[in-house]
Amino acid sequence: MSKEGKIMKIDLHIHTKMSDGFFSPKEVIDEAYKNGVSVISICDHDTIDAYNEELFSYAKSKNIKLIPGVEISTKTNKAGIHILGYNYDLNNNEMKESLYKIRNARHIYLHKVAKRLEQIGYLVNEEELDKIDAVTKAHIALDIVNNKENEKILLREFGHIPSKGEFIETIMNENCIAYVKKETVTPKEAAKIIRKANGKVVLAHPVAYVHEDNFTNKDILEIINEIKPDGIEANYLYVDRNENIINEVAKWNKFAKENNLFVTVGSDFHKKDGIHPEIGFVNTKFMLNDNVIYDIITNITR
């Protein structure tokens, strides 16, 4: 408990409209305030555009500590891997230029995958999607499954209207019918980008790679040995394609300790859907004690 007698809440993995979230940066602050969360980080995909002096001032007015964050999309020969960066120099031009190149590759990917999807019968609102700065697979998949003109083909292929996650895993991912290789960086290169800006490097949600890509502990260790991160996102609730919540927090905290890594915590919040954790995990039973939270803040900010 904090000195005020309230349970302290922290969430270091939140998305906004700057990538594939549904809330604006200010709305994220409002939601965190409403949920009683006192420390947050916005980790949009391949962009730090959410951050400006106005947002930091707004967070401060709500007594919320805002720690700069980013989630960089990378690729190994086995799967896509996300690398989180924290407490970096927001004015580092090299980091800004690197992220711009990564985002630009997303738009090249959009045009290629739209062509492939249209060849197999799906209608893609390519022009509208191209207006999204950090366009993602999630944007593309959501556009398709929400488009009534795709209803017939979706029902034929899936037997129901799939979620965006199911569509990605079945149609767009590697070894699927509409797979298109996206030019990207490696986990090691992403770690280098973050370190050059004096940030902390964290491997995002290892639990996801186990359940989505059949990674073993050995596979995770290979990534750890390659990028030598400062920490891993051990405190994370994974939601699978069948909307089952998988809690392997104890396993990944143990893994972190065995490999001399600090741990972080994140909801990976995008929107309120009644399934995924919300900012601060307020719609779940998951919570951390204050000692763990203080350790996380200290490790991220020192």
For 138-159, what is the mean pLDDT?
96
The answer on pLDDT for 72 being more than 50 is yes
Q: Are strands 69-75 and 65-66 parallel, antiparallel or unpaired?
A: unpaired
Phi and psi at residue 83, in whole multiples of 5°? -115, 125
- What does the pLDDT look like over 172-195, one tens digit per residue? 998 899 999 888 899 999 999 999
In the chain, which residues fall in CATH 3.20.20.140?
10-91+186-301
Phi and psi at residue 291, in whole multiples of 5°? -60, -40
- The confidence band for 242, taking pLDDT boundaries of 50, 70 and 90, is confident
10-91+186-301 maps to CATH 3.20.20.80: no
Phi and psi at residue 35, in whole multiples of 5°? -85, 0
The predicted pLDDT at position 6 comes to: 56
The predicted pLDDT at position 1 comes to: 36
The predicted pLDDT at position 3 comes to: 42
- The confidence band for 5, taking pLDDT boundaries of 50, 70 and 90, is very low
Q: 3-state class of 289 per DSSP?
A: coil
For 2-6, what is the mean pLDDT?
46
Q: What is the pTM for the complete model shown? A: 0.84
What's the rounded Cα separation, in Å, for the pair 249 and 143?
33
% of the chain surpassing 70 pLDDT: 98
Q: Which residues, 6+ apart, have CB-to-CB distance to 135 below 8 Å?
A: 106, 107, 110, 129
